[in-house]
Structure 1
Amino acid sequence: MEHPIRIMVPAVALLVGGVSAAGCAAPEPLPEITQGARPTAAAASTATPAPKATAGTAAVAAGKPLGGPGTACALPVSFALAEKWEPEAIEDPENPEFVALTRQGPATVRCEVDAKPAGHVGYLRVWTTRGEGPARAGLEAFVKAEKGSSAVVYRETKAGALPATEVTYTVHNDVMEETKEERAFAVATPQGTVIVHLGGLDTAEHRAMLPAYELARTTLKLG
């Protein structure tokens, strides 16, 4: 928001003029002070605009790859991780004793990437669904299964060179009494749908981690 510039010089000049008038019969006239002209629209358009800070557009250094042979998690896809983010495979995700933690709708979590070593509080998690079918269908079922989800918006995009569906939505946490942003993208593979999801402690942390999410999306490939 622009703040008006307060011109103090005329007020000071009038004060000085009043003192001079009281001490002298014929004071010298004060010089006329006028406010400078405002820049015209044409002149303003030639100035370089300040860059707009947009969440998810900041550069992030690429670290180790994930998903390929010899990486921390065996996945149907691979992509680059942001530097210092630490991946770990989920042990025994099919165990029915842990289904409440490892399943969301049709998806099973296979890998989680911890952002704490990079200074953030949150995870990038990779989920898979079995069987063939449109990636969007699997993603929609995934989001519907998350308690408290709302403000859901889907869009068609790309993950690397692959067609993908992306979703942004909010989740209300009754314990924390707050609503936070989340997002995910999904791609279809011969082994089923892969969903890459970014949460975060709160909306501020979520937005701070978006560059790592975008790195994963833009570098993703099969195998």
Structure 2
Amino acid sequence: MKRQVAVLAALTLAVSAGCAEKKEQPAAVPTPSASASASASPTASPIAFGPPWHDEVAPAAASVTVGPKGSTCPLPITFSVPAKWKVRAVTSGADRKVGPAVPICEIDAKPAGHIGFLRVWRIEGAAPRTPQITLDAFMDDDGKATERQYRRTKAGPLDSFEASWAGERARRRAILVSSLYGKVLITLDGTDSDGFTAVLPAYQLAKSSANLPK
């Protein structure tokens, strides 16, 4: 009888020790998600391939800088355009105002063999506007503007807000750039879908090279 009690006591101690050892095991650390990345940023703008942004289209080769003081079109910002594009200042901008935007510079692709323009606009008005309200006011006054899409992005190092929409003849693009001297709008105007495709690399160049004047 004493032997049976001793055996039972030994078994009880063994079970208790096993439970204690199990409780002392550290909790497993969760495995990071496969989508997590050390370089990921919640504020980074993802690259958008295909319509409507076409971020896969490489910028054209730079030739002329538009915007420096003393140039054909002195601007609150500077950016590059391809070779042979003709830059001219718009002197009668008030007569061609579109919404809150007054044209101040026009860059014509025709001498380079394309049909289309890059246009630069100064945003007027003392009333505070969100970037989307500013772009909507421009599009509303410009004519047909359907399939509107927007995104926050960068023009060079500068904070910007971009829009893409379907115009009367072709897809349109515009980027609203914040500068020390107010907001500047750069638009891409192609006469048709082929013209839009031909001049898009110039727009990508203007966008990627934008900066404040030195």
Structure 1 position 93 matched with structure 2 position 93 = yes
Q: Which runs of 5+ in 2 are unaligned?
A: 1-48
Percent identical pairs in the alignment equals: 35
Contact conserved, 1:138 with 1:193, CA < 8 A, in 2? no
Count of paired positions: 160
What is aligned with 1:160? 156
Q: Distance in 2 between matches of 1:148 and 1:77?
A: 29
Q: Which runs of 5+ in 1 are unaligned?
A: 1-51, 173-178
TM-score of the superposition, structure 2-length normalised? Answer: 0.69
Contact conserved, 2:60 with 2:204, CA < 8 A, in 1? no
Contact conserved, 2:162 with 2:174, CA < 8 A, in 1? yes
Q: Cα deviations across residues 39-77 of structure 1 (Å, max 9, x unaligned)?
A: xxxxxxxxxxxxx99686245221110001122101111
Q: Cα deviations across residues 158-188 of structure 1 (Å, max 9, x unaligned)?
A: 000011111110112xxxxxx4111110012
Contact conserved, 1:120 with 1:209, CA < 8 A, in 2? yes
Structure 1 position 104 matched with structure 2 position 98 = yes
CA-based RMSD: 2.0
Q: Distance in 2 between matches of 1:190 and 1:55?
A: 27
What is aligned with 1:3? none
- Secondary structure of 2:204 counterpart: helix
Query: What is the one-letter code of the residue matched to 2:182?
Result: G
- Secondary structure of 1:75 counterpart: coil
What is aligned with 1:194? 184
Who wins on radius of gyration, i.e. which is larger?
A: 2
Alignment of 1:169-184 (within 5 A): 169-172=165-168, 179-184=169-174
TM-score of the superposition, structure 1-length normalised? Answer: 0.66
Q: Distance in 2 between matches of 1:56 and 1:117?
A: 26
Greater share of strand residues, 1 or 2? 1
2:147 paired residue among 137, 146, 151: 151
Contact conserved, 1:64 with 1:83, CA < 8 A, in 2? yes
